[in-house]
């Protein structure tokens, strides 16, 4: 997707984003706990959630670790950032910037160095991940951690087949990210974690119609409606149960006492 289209996509989605996930609060708690544990977060860390969206996960991470320094919630979409709230909740500082801005040093951050950075489902929007991840790694303090959370190249969501196929076509391979983190001087490791989602079928169909995933924005209204018919035929059950599997690519900067 062009940057302009990405911006437009999130402008349209922002107001309903948290509502979509409101039916799966357990998933938010589960994922935030995995973020905190993988990054070994502690309350004294200086942290940034890059491509934080509405801050739905950062808010829960803040609840878990009670940060001494506000978590920097960085996102280029003003509409998504607005959902964080005005004033923002304690422990979160919204910053309107892209991953590229932070990597290049053109975004003003309150901390010179960071102990932990995460990008959850935002790396696929970064045009040149090798350069951007290199720039982000440079902002880490010794012993700092950078985590990229992304979907694998194939997913088992109850979507229509054309959407699943296009997702596979567009999604970067997590192994590429491993290579970028290694090239950036970090010690990389890749693991997969899985949750199981239980979503009301009509609610999920509403999310598809709202194009809750950016890949769905590549389909016209009539293609989406045709896809929804296909989904209804394949899934008559009132509650959809499916695995949500994520690649966790962690890079650790040498040095530091941890």
Ligand X SMILES: C[S@@+](CC[C@H](N)C(=O)[O-])C[C@H]1O[C@@H](n2cnc3c(N)ncnc32)[C@H](O)[C@@H]1O
Q: Which residues bind ligand X (CB under 6 A)?
A: 6, 10, 50-53, 56-57, 75-77, 80, 98-100, 120-122, 125-126
- Closest contact distance (angstroms) between CB of 233 and ligand X is 28
- Closest contact distance (angstroms) between CB of 235 and ligand X is 23
Q: 192 or 258, CB closer to ligand X?
A: 192
Q: 50 or 178, CB closer to ligand X?
A: 50
- Closest contact distance (angstroms) between CB of 164 and ligand X is 17
Q: 63 or 226, CB closer to ligand X?
A: 63
Closest CA to 109 of 36, 43, 48, 153: 48
- Closest contact distance (angstroms) between CB of 102 and ligand X is 8
Q: 56 or 155, CB closer to ligand X?
A: 56
Q: 115 or 122, CB closer to ligand X?
A: 122
Q: How would you class 249 by CB atoms within 10 Å of its CB: exposed for 0-12, middle for 13-18, buried for 19 or more?
A: buried
- Closest contact distance (angstroms) between CB of 230 and ligand X is 24
- Closest contact distance (angstroms) between CB of 5 and ligand X is 11
Give residues with Cβ within 8 angstroms of 113, minimum separation 6: 46, 139, 140, 141, 144
Q: 11 or 229, CB closer to ligand X?
A: 11
Beta pairing, strands 92-96 & 71-75: parallel
CB 87 within 8 A of CB 159: no
Place of tokens 């974690």: 193
State how far the alpha carbon of 24 is from the alpha carbons of 18, 27, 83, 85, in Å: 10, 5, 18, 21
- In angstroms, the CA 171 to CA 152 distance is 7
Closest CA to 73 of 109, 38, 22, 43: 109
């Amino acid at each position: 997707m062009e940057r302009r289209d990405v911006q437009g996509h999130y402008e349209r989605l922002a107001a309903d984003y948290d509502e979509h996930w409101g039916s799966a609060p357990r998933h938010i708690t589960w994922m935030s706990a995995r973020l905190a544990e993988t990054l070994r977060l502690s309350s004294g860390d200086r942290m940034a959630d890059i491509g934080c969206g509405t801050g739905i996960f950062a808010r829960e991470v803040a609840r878990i670790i009670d940060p001494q320094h506000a978590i920097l919630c960085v996102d280029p979409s003003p509409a998504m950032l607005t959902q964080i709230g005005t004033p923002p909740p304690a422990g979160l500082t919204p910053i309107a910037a892209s991953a590229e801005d932070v990597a290049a040093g053109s975004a003003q951050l309150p901390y010179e160095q960071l102990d932990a950075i995460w990008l959850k489902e935002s790396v696929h929007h970064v045009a040149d991940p090798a350069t951007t991840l290199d720039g982000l790694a440079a902002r880490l303090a010794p012993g700092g951690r950078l985590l990229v959370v992304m979907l694998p190249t194939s997913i088992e969501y109850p979507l229509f087949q054309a959407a699943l196929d296009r997702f596979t076509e567009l999604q970067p391979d997590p192994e590429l990210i491993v290579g970028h983190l290694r090239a950036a001087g970090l010690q990389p490791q890749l693991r997969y974690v899985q949750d199981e989602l239980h979503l009301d079928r009509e609610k999920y169909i509403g999310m598809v119609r709202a194009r809750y995933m950016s890949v769905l924005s590549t389909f016209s209204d009539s293609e989406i409606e045709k896809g929804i018919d296909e989904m209804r035929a394949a899934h008559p059950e009132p509650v959809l149960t499916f695995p949500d599997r994520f690649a966790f690519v962690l890079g650790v900067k040498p040095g530091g006492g941890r």
